[in-house]
Each structure stands twice: as C-alpha cells, then as structure tokens.
Structure 1
Amino acid sequence: MNKVVVNWFEIPTTDIKRAKAFYEQILDCQMQLVDIGGFDMCFFPGDPSAGATGALIAHETYTPNHAGTLVYLMTDDVAVPLAKVAAAGGKVLREKTQISPEHGFMGVFEDTEGNRVALHSNT
C-alpha cells in the first residue's frame, strides 16, 4: 500500500457556477469548468504528483452535505480565505485556531452549497 492514502476528493454542488465563483474568490485562484462524461467538474489547482487534489462536482448522484466527511484545503494562512468567506456567500463556522505548534492552524466554513469544508496552514 502507498504511504499516502488520500489522492482525490470531490465536493458536491447544486450550482457549480456559484460554487466555482465562491472558491475562486476565497482561494484567489482560477478553476476551469469541464464536462467529463456527464459530470460537471471544476478542478482545484495543484500538482497531483505532489499530493491529493480534487474538484467541485455537479451531478444528480451527488448531494452537498454539512455532516459528511471534512475535507481540509491547504493555504498559506487560514485567516486570508476565511476573511473572504462571508462576502463570497458562505459562513465561517470556526475562526483560525491553532491545532498545536507542530501541526499549524485550521478553520472551518460552510460553502454556498451547504458543505462544511476546512482550511489548514502552517502559519
């Protein structure tokens, strides 16, 4: 078995264009909307060979969920995207909080689709 267990994640959406705009705004990135076999997807930026990456996804078999698995997105400073969440249409659920000196910081928000998503940074 590989030492890295997680290699892909998908965050469900009901309105992928709204979700795309939300994540582009809070993460200050560009995401391309593509149709892959009937699934509308927007990929998060990143190098898959460097670790896990994922996408927003819209399809009838996917339902946004506030109580499901918690995905952590890596950022330089958790406080920066959290400060943009409300203006982008989301809700901050947990402000920047230190996990421990060796494990950095985390914060949690609810996106425009109703998903609970976390952020992680070393500073």
Structure 2
Amino acid sequence: MVTLKRTLLIFALGLLSQMISSCKNKLKNEEQAVNKTMVKKHNPVVYFEIPVDDMDRAITFYKAVFDFDFSKTIIDHNEMALFPFSDEHSGISGALAKGEIYKPTKNGVVIYFNTENIDAVLKRVLANGGQILYPKTSNGELGFVAELEDSEGNRIALHEAVK
C-alpha cells in the first residue's frame, strides 16, 4: 500500500512538473508573440528640437553653416524654426526651439547632421562663431564624424559617408 501511494505521488509530482513546464513554455511563447508585435516598422526617432536662446542668431548660424531655410511658427507658446523636410528624402527633421523649457547644452543628446563635406562645414562653423569640439575623424567604413558647438552652446555632430 505504501509503495502504491509512493508510486502515485511520484507520478502526480511528475505530471505536475510537466504541467508547470508546459505553462512556462506557453507563457514564454505568448511573451515572444507580444514582443514581436511591439517591433516597429519604422525607425524610432521621428523629430528633434535643438534648444536656443536667441532664435535669430541660431537661424543665421544654421543658414550660414548648412544653407538651411527655416519656417517660423509657435507651438505650445514656444518659438520654433522648423528645419526643411521632404517626404521624398530619408531621415527626420526637427526645429530650433526657444522657450522656458529649452536650455542649450553640450551635455545632452547629440544630433548628427549628414554632410557631403565635413571639412567645408567645419570651416563655416568657425567663420560663423561656432567651435570645433571633435575634429574630423574616420569611423572606418561608416565614413567620418566630427562635433561642433553651435551659436547657442549646443553640441552638434556631423557625419560624412564614405564616397
């Protein structure tokens, strides 16, 4: 009788162990399915804002250095100068942003601007009151990078693809 009870107990424990393992696998599969549906079909960054203290000075700087045209607007009581954007081109766009919550800094997020010629851009940076923070440096087969300080004190990076 003790042997039969022991055998049944071992059988029940084995069955319970299989059930727990099956539940764990089912939960794992459901979690993986949820994670797959969370994978986005777009790049994660869609827009940026560069803080400025003096909007006219910042527009003058970015126009002189990159030849950008801006559209001025007010969004949530903040002054914005929108960078150019075209659906036909890859990448994202953003704005120069002036308002109480916007504080220029070299210690925050770094935005990379694409350029055909880092050397030419860095010359224009210096000619327009900016500074070079990190000189043109090879990034191997990815191209070249550099960093500058804009007219407002922000750290901005440059990328030049290998030609």
Q: TM-score, normalised on structure 2?
A: 0.69
Instruction: Name 1:100's counterpart in structure 2.
Output: 140
Q: Which amino acid aligns with 2:49?
A: E
| Residue 76 (1) aligns with residue 116 (2) | yes
Instruction: Name 1:116's counterpart in structure 2.
Output: 155
Post-superposition shift, 1:48? 5.0
| Residue 65 (1) aligns with residue 105 (2) | yes
Query: Secondary structure at the residue paired with 2:61?
Result: helix
Post-superposition shift, 1:74? 1.0
Instruction: Name 1:45's counterpart in structure 2.
Output: 84
Q: Deviations over 1:69-108 (max 9, x none)?
A: 111011112222111111111101122211112x111110
Instruction: Name 1:90's counterpart in structure 2.
Output: 130
Higher relative contact order at CA 8 Å, sep ≥6: structure 1 or structure 2? Answer: 1
Q: How many residues were matched structurally?
A: 122
Q: Which amino acid aligns with 1:45?
A: P
Contact 1:13/1:56 (8 A) holds in 2: yes
Q: Which of 1 and 2 has greater Rg? A: 2
Contact 1:77/1:122 (8 A) holds in 2: no
Runs of 4+ in 1 over 4 A off after TM superposition: none
Tell me the C-alpha RMSD between the 2 structures: 1.5
Identity %: 36
Larger proportion of strand: 1
